Amino acid sequence: MLDPGSQTYLPDEALAAVMRQRGVRLGQNTRFVCSCGSGVSACVVALALEKLGEPRVQVYDGSWTQWGSDPSLPVETGEAVPAGAA
């Protein structure tokens, strides 16, 4: 999502292509909840989605650190499913 030289976001067209290649369905009024290990990287993804005009973007700022430390919350385990295969 970032230009390796300038460390700024790719131009919108290239950014959208990266998202679509990874199975993100843009322009469909999808609700996105971005999460990561601690909440920081999720903000980078959320801002990219906002930049592309997605209106329903949220960040779960507790992310995996909060969720994974609570034994009462569900955790799915098993083999990873490639993006777009589900």
Q: Which domain holds residue 32?
A: 12-68
Q: Domain count of the chain?
A: 1
Cβ atoms within 10 Å of 68's Cβ, excluding its own: 12
CA distance 47 to 29: 16
The answer to the question of residue 24 being in a domain is yes
Q: Residues with catalytic annotation?
A: 36
Q: Is residue 32 part of a domain?
A: yes
Confirm whether 48 is domain-assigned.
yes
Give 55-85 pLDDT, tens digit per residue. Answer: 999 999 888 888 889 999 998 888 876 665 5
Establish if 54 belongs to a structural domain.
yes
- Whether the Cβ atoms of residue 55 and residue 29 lie closer than 8 Å to each other: yes
pTM, whole model, 2 decimals? Answer: 0.78
For residue 42, name the pLDDT band (cuts at 50, 70, 90). Answer: very high
CATH number at residue 34: 3.40.250.10
Q: Is 5 a member of any domain?
A: no
